[in-house]
Amino acid sequence: MKKTEFLTGSFIALTLVVLLGVFFFQALFQPSYEGKVMPIDNVNLKDRVSLHYVLKNVNDASKYLATNGMRYFNNRSSVPSKTITFGKTKNLEEGSANEVTSIVVNYRGFDTLGEVTVLFISIIGLTMLIGGVKEKKLRMPSVIVRTGSKFLFPFILLFGVYIFIHGHLTPGGGFPGGAVIASGFLLLLLGLENFKFNTTVSKVIESLAGVTFVGIGLVGLFMKNSFLANFIPTGTIGFLYSAGMVALIYIVVGIKVGAELSTGVAELKEGNKND
Amino acid sequence: MFIIGIILITIGVIFSTLGALGLVRMPDLYNRLQTSTKATTLGAFSTIIGVGFLNPAWLIKTIVIATFILLTAPISSHNLARASHKWGIPLSDKTSVDKYDSKTGKEE
Amino acid sequence: MVILLYLVVLVLAISALCAIFTKDLLVSVVALGVNSLIVSALFFLMHAPDVAITEAAIGAGLSTAIYVFAIRHTKRQEEK
């Protein structure tokens, strides 16, 4: 690229970025419909999200809105909900303590199925592109790095499994759990001198996990007439055995994402040997 | 409990500041790696355990996190120094002995 | 609190500009790693811990490693 083209291109890009920046920042200081200016750090949650999400129990919210809907906009301090206490309330409509999980897996579970499919297709594309790449040898790592990697790998794996098993209680879920597992395998690839990652086994595990996801949805279809319905009784909120099939789906998604990303990284390092 | 937590956090902050000061004033890459790794590892370790003493319900989790930092930061700085010596980043002119130079040719 | 957000966004802008205007591809990849780290801190300051953990694990860890592997198989200096 010549110098004049580079300068005009960067000037146009800088102008666009400044315009977008002005637009974004003035959106933060817009007044709410009551005439108050709302700064960023004391956000009133009931002003920003819809009523259904705050009550977390869609049947109650529909009944409330049917009886006194317009009064919500004027009298917002009196939003009733059943008092939900952590560790005691049983058999809610969807019993997970983490709000993001309840949206991602239960109320919008079909979109998560689409997201998992997109990840699957991108890893297939990566594997097809690494057709003729040969392996380049890395320099042999020193004795400190070799010992350290072998010692640290089980703890990283344990941390990843902890993240996706407690997906309905603490922040996290299936996707960061799988990414941490893949980082553990990346540490082994770089830190030991001859580590062969068996890509055949990991591809089989990934495919089986994807089939299990759709299988859980089909069981919900046969038992409750709706794909990906929650057919296991939701127990007490805050316990590990709560939230029905949300926990099962996050375990499946965590295993699938972990196997996928490890396969992608290992194929980039070693090249595809199937010819 | 409260006083021990405050003392540990103060020690952590002082050592982190000294590590940042060393990053500015040292003449060479290898000196900077050594001072910043040692000081900031101790600083982070003390701060996290001090927070664990301020809320005693979190004590075991903070000990686990601090042990993980203590195990991984020295290994990574060792690998950085080894890699930058292979790429030939020059030592400062006040150095007199370079013991690693004769071993670069052969693998350990 | 707002001052902290503005300072963090300033570091974000500096690292992004450094990633674009340098000719050495390895320096550019390290700058993108710093970018992912700062974005993860920004997500945490906006009270969203799930996205912060995901961005830290994928952006600052695996994405940088994949870029470095891709640079190994091609060339390191960008041509004029």
> Is pLDDT larger for residue B89 or for residue B36?
B36
Q: How many domains are contained in chain C?
A: 1
Q: Is A40 helix (H, G, I), strand (E, B) or coil?
A: coil
Q: What is the pLDDT of residues A110-144, one digit of tens each?
A: 999 999 999 999 999 988 888 767 777 778 888 99
Give residues 140 to 159 of A whose Cβ lies within 8 Å of B.
140-145, 148, 151-152, 155
Residue B107 has its nearest CB partner, among A140, A144, A155, at A140
Reported confidence tier of residue C79, pLDDT bands at 50, 70, 90: low
- C80: closest chain A residue by CA: A1
The model's pTM: 0.81
Q: Which residues from chain A sit within 8 angstroms of residue B107, using beta carbons? A: 139-140
B102 assigned to some structural domain = no
B21 assigned to some structural domain = yes
C36 assigned to some structural domain = yes
C27 assigned to some structural domain = yes
| Residue-wise burial string across A75-109, b where 16 or more C-beta atoms lie within 10 A, e elsewhere | eeeeeeeeeeeeeeeeebebbbbbebbbbbbbeeb
**A214 Cα to chain C: minimum distance (Å):** 24
Reported confidence tier of residue A201, pLDDT bands at 50, 70, 90: very high
Q: What is the pLDDT of residues A60-111, one digit of tens each?
A: 656 666 665 555 545 554 444 556 667 777 777 777 878 788 888 888 889 9
B30 assigned to some structural domain = yes
B29 assigned to some structural domain = yes
C42 assigned to some structural domain = yes
Q: How many domains are contained in chain B?
A: 1
B93 assigned to some structural domain = no
- B80: closest chain A residue by CA: A145
**Owning domain of residue C11:** 2-73
pLDDT higher than 80, residue A28? no
Q: Where are the domains of chain A?
A: 3-78, 99-270
B103 assigned to some structural domain = no
Residue A11 burial (C-beta neighbours within 10 Å; 0-12, 13-18, 19+): exposed
pLDDT higher than 80, residue A152? yes
| B43 within 8 A of B36, measured Cβ to Cβ | no
B57 assigned to some structural domain = yes
C20 assigned to some structural domain = yes
Reported confidence tier of residue C48, pLDDT bands at 50, 70, 90: confident
Q: Which residues from chain B sit within 8 angstroms of residue A139, using beta carbons? A: 86, 107
C24 assigned to some structural domain = yes
Q: How many CB atoms lie within 10 A of CB C27?
A: 11
C80 assigned to some structural domain = no
Reported confidence tier of residue A44, pLDDT bands at 50, 70, 90: low
- Of A212-216, A235-239, B79-83, give the lowest mean pLDDT range: A235-239
B86 touches chain A (CB under 8 A): yes
State the ipTM, two decimals.
0.89
Percent of chain A topping pLDDT 90 = 32
pLDDT higher than 50, residue B107? no
**Owning domain of residue B73:** 2-88
Mean pLDDT of all residues in A45-67: 57
* Residue contact C65–A175, C-beta within 8 A: no
C31 assigned to some structural domain = yes
A16 touches chain C (CB under 8 A): no
B98 assigned to some structural domain = no
